[in-house]
Amino acid sequence: MSLYLIILIISLAGPLALSFEKNLGLYTRWKFLLPAILITMVVFVIWDVIFTHQGYWFFNPIYNSGIYINKLPLEEYLFFVVIPYACAFSFYAVQFHFPRFKLNEQWTKFLTQLLVVVSIIMSLLYRDFAYTFVVFLVLPAILLLSYFFAKEVVQYYLAIYPILLIPFFIINGILTGTGIEQAVFDYNPQAILGIRIFSIPIEDMFYNFSLLLSPLALTHIFEMRFKKSKNV
């Protein structure tokens, strides 16, 4: 079994088992959450495939199964299901146990505007670095759409995201080479700024922000539409 797959199994095991905990009952949200994750997966896999073909990042055959689909290892496809699901579990668990752990509307609006402006500036300043440019171009689009269509999610997400960074640094750290001889996947130095936290390119924090917010916002939109249709 590949190291990449082992990391994904460990990441999923706890959240999946605890999804059936009767108070949180995350399994009752699956009909909204799983389609949201799959839609997000399609978008990010397309991004992944393009960047892999362009040589902006690459996967180490030592640490994956050797099963490739369009130059992406099987584990990479699973990544876009497992990690958003595991983080969605953490998000809903914090939201359930600490319902007041969110930003008020004023702070949400201010931080949303700040992140959008800073991201656009970063994308313009570093447009010669492909990964940096796209990350900071995608983030404001996803954040603004989430703010306008799922503001309540953004209120919680901006407060909870620092907590989600804890497993991010552990998992992404290993995947990018922390504690192991070679990285599971790595980046073309010409596509990134070269600023790393441990072995993690700083861009990954903002990539992760968009990847995790997207299914949460979509889940909220699907839930609201479902409730509205029931009330008609």
- Tens of pLDDT, residue by residue over 151-169, are 999 999 999 999 999 999 9
Return d(Cα 19, Cα 89) in angstroms, integer: 7
**Would you state the pLDDT for residue 232?**
63
Percent of the chain with pLDDT over 70: 100
- Tens of pLDDT, residue by residue over 102-130, are 999 999 999 999 999 999 999 999 999 99
Residue 225, pLDDT above cutoff 70: yes
- Tens of pLDDT, residue by residue over 132-153, are 999 999 999 999 999 999 999 9
**Would you state the pLDDT for residue 91?**
97
Residue-range domain boundaries for the chain: 3-226
Return d(Cα 113, Cα 93) in angstroms, integer: 27
Q: What is the pTM of this model?
A: 0.95
**Would you state the pLDDT for residue 228?**
84
- Tens of pLDDT, residue by residue over 31-73, are 999 999 999 999 999 999 999 999 999 999 999 999 999 999 9
